[in-house]
Amino acid sequence: MTLEEKIGQMVLCGFTGTEPSADIERLIRDEAVGGVILFARNVQSTEQVARLNRSLQAAASIAGRLPLWISIDQEGGMVARITDGVALMPGAMAIAAGGSAEDAYEAASISGRELKALGINLNFAPVLDVNNNPANPVIGVRSFGEDPGRVAELGVATIRGLQEAGVVATAKHFPGHGDTHVDSHLALPTVAHPLERLEQVELRPFREAIAAGVDAIMSAHIVFPAYEPAKLPVTLSHAALTGLLRGELGYQGVIMTDCLEMNAIAEHFGTVEAAVMAVEAGADLVLISHSHERQLGALEALRLAVLAGRIREERIDRSVERLLALKARRGVLAPAAAGGVPGGTAAEEPQDEAVEPALVPPLVGCEAHLAAAQRISEASITVVRNERGLLPLAKDRSLVVISVEAAVQSEVDELLEAPLSLGKALVELGACETEWLVPLRKVGELKEELVRSALFADQVVVATYNAYLEPDQAELIRALQARGKDPIVVALRSPYDLLAFPDVGAFMAVYESRPLALRSAAKVLTGGIPAAGRLPISLGGQSTAGSGADGSQGGDAV
């Protein structure tokens, strides 16, 4: 391989559009980039995604380039780029609330098989951050919870499920993004804990993931003074990536960066220079998700750094060897059969030339996979509090539902128009006649109107969305209480919402606002299924981790 080809393998690029853009085709043809990342902007349907991925791999083949990584953030729950036509699994905290490592494995296995069938061979999951900071604005329900041992157990099960399905698993965000109150998409966080605490909490899931043979680890754009005395984020720290991860932890797999266009990097170091610094620190693969100009700049900067002697070519060789070994291990380098894609289901068996293989194999979104997702979702719903017997809802009493609509509150979110609300899910069960759908930014403005709408209802359900970060939602709950109402609060994302109104009589944690979760919540609200979930996190003095089923510790669910 030429130097340029080797450097190309170390860069992963994003692009716009639902078919290969001229920019990404140029990067594949002229720069030999190692792969691409897909976002919601690249997705219309499973058929379109499968066709896009075939076209991308064909572009590499025609140009005489190596087959590509085709990567995605398909964590499940609230962070998923493909949401329709697949068995979208619950997210990490919902799975943790269900309490089963077997479910974590099954969810990952199904997701992995479906991704591979669509031509996707690398998933940026699981999140191994231990979320023990209620103010964390970006991890939250993406984490398996606050207990390092439980995060490790469920994370390892997820890794096994993805990798046994033939898809690369990526443990993120090393060495831990769980105890921050700053989103690294927006600014540069610092975690100032001493080494002993980091070893006991943040590092434990990553140690166990390494022992389990995780394919890849993604670095966090966070400053850890205990590891790096200079104010360098882990992504750019030789002490953290080479000294700690390679040396002390003995990790031999692929180290990749989070996107270098996030503000934690771009505003402090510059994306192009950061690409060189990340490779110097020990990264094998750098991720640049958006700007074509920055992608080209990073490739050229890496080439010039080698020619100038700043980075030895032998250092480049070691990274490329790891990357190609992983491509070989996950079947990416396997030649495609007729109509197939490298590493994809269609390429696994020779096809009759007269028969066009299915663009989307029948296993994608099949009934068995959907049934598994439903079972896992239903097991997650957690009744944290039911002090005054407000649950289940009484069939013979009037009901008003006020639903705060989900909104993008972090750059990791890519929410599209919601196809279902909690009220609509209750309508499907014949349990709701009136629902107010309220945009998150309009809650304060509409508060008095919403309170008046609920005054003559016997029962009031308020579906909140990250109310612990949004004071207007807490004001709405207090206004209802002040007018003599006793609202049932259903948290459609963060269970930390209870901290914003600790005296509510009934509180349910759903962990996500995807249609499957809303239908599961509606079944629990109406008494159709028991509330079997347990909190994976503590809510101050209100409820401890492990509580559920009317706030009890263990025992039967309601």
The whole-number pLDDT of residue 357 equals: 62
Beta partners for 508?
A: 383, 490
How would DSSP label each residue in 307-358?
A: HTTSS-HHHHHHHHHHHHHHHHHTTTTSPP-TT--TTSGGGSS---TTSPPP
Residue whose C-alpha is closest to residue 173's, from 210, 213, 202: 202
Structure tokens at 513: 């606002």
For the chain, domains (ranges, CATH) are: 3-347 (3.20.20.300), 381-553 (3.40.50.1700)
- Is the confidence at residue 13, as pLDDT, over 60? yes
* Residue 335, preceding peptide bond in cis (omega within 30° of 0): no
Whether a cis peptide bond, with omega within 30° of 0, leads into 181 is no
Average pLDDT score over the chain: 91
pLDDT value of residue 185: 66
Strands, DSSP E only, in 149-208? 168-174
Note the helical H segments in 382-470: 422-428, 447-454
Alpha-carbon torsion (112, 141, 408, 478), positive or negative: positive
Among residues 340, 413, 325, the alpha carbon closest in space to that of 55 is found at 340
* Average pLDDT estimate for 460-466: 96
The active-site residue out of 73, 103, 147, 258 is: 258
Backbone angle region of 537, left / alpha / beta, with phi > 0 → left and psi within -120 to 50 → alpha? beta
Model confidence band, residue 131 (pLDDT cutoffs 50, 70, 90)? very high
Residue 372: band (very low, low, confident or very high) from pLDDT cuts 50, 70, 90: very high
**Rounded to whole angstroms, how far apart are CA atoms 401 and 487?**
10
Predicted confidence (pLDDT) at residue 555 exceeds the cutoff of 50: no
- For residue 116, give the nearest of 162, 57, 85 by alpha carbon: 162
Helices and strands (DSSP H and E) totals, the chain: 18, 18
More confident residue, 540 or 96: 96
Q: Report whether pLDDT(409) > 70.
A: no
How far, in Å, CA of 492 to CA of 206, rounded? 29
Predicted confidence at residue 134, as pLDDT, reads 83
CA 289, CA 12: separation in Å to the nearest integer? Answer: 8
Mean pLDDT score, 544-548: 83
Alpha-carbon torsion, ordered 471, 143, 515, 434, to 10 deg: -20
- CB distance 71 to 124 below 8 Å: yes
pLDDT at 551 over 90: no
Strand duo 168-174 + 434-438: pairing: unpaired
Asked if residue 485 has pLDDT above 60, the reply is: yes
**Minimum mean pLDDT range among 407-416, 427-436, 439-448:** 407-416
β-pair partners for 403: 437, 463
Q: What is the 3-state secondary structure (H, E, C) of 404-415?
A: ECCCCCCCCCCC
Give the pLDDT score at 557: 30
Average pLDDT of span 474-482: 97
Q: How far is it, in rounded angstroms, from Cα 66 to Cα 72?
A: 19
Whether the predicted pLDDT of 353 surpasses 90: no
User: Could you confirm whether 185 is annotated as catalytic?
Assistant: yes
Q: Is the pLDDT of residue 418 over 80?
A: no
Q: Are 516 and 374 in contact (CB under 8 A)?
A: yes
349-358, 468-477, 514-523, 542-551, range with the lowest pLDDT: 349-358
Taking only the tens place, the pLDDT of each residue in 296-332 is 999 999 999 999 999 999 999 999 999 999 999 999 9
Helix (H) or strand (E) holding 149: helix 148-164
Cβ proximity of 110 and 76 under 8 Å: no
Q: What are phi and psi of 493, to 5 degrees?
A: -145, -85
**DSSP state, 526?**
T
| Predicted confidence (pLDDT) at residue 417 exceeds the cutoff of 90 | no
Tell me the pLDDT band of 367, cut-offs 50, 70 and 90: very high
Q: 276-289 pLDDT, tens per residue?
A: 999 999 999 999 99
Residues with Cβ within 8 Å of residue 530, at least 6 apart in sequence: 524, 549, 556, 557, 558
How far the first Cα of the chain sits from its last, in Å, is 63
- b/e map 375-399, b = 16+ CB within 10 Å: ebbbbbbbbbbbeeebbbbeeeeeb
Q: What is the pLDDT of residues 69-111, one digit of tens each?
A: 999 999 999 999 999 999 999 999 999 999 899 999 999 999 9
Provide the pLDDT for residue 165.
98
- Helix, strand, coil % in the chain, rounded to nearest 5: 40, 15, 45
Confidence of residue 414 (pLDDT cuts 50, 70, 90): low
Q: Which of 50-59, 356-365, 431-440 has the highest mean pLDDT?
A: 50-59
Q: Work out the average pLDDT over 182-192.
A: 72
With bands split at pLDDT 50, 70 and 90, how would you rate the model's confidence at 186?
Answer: low
Instruction: Say if residues 49 and 362 touch (Cβ distance below 8 Å).
Output: no
Catalytic residue of the set 30, 185, 268, 413 = 185
Q: What is d(CA 521, CA 537) in angstroms, rounded to the nearest whole number? A: 19
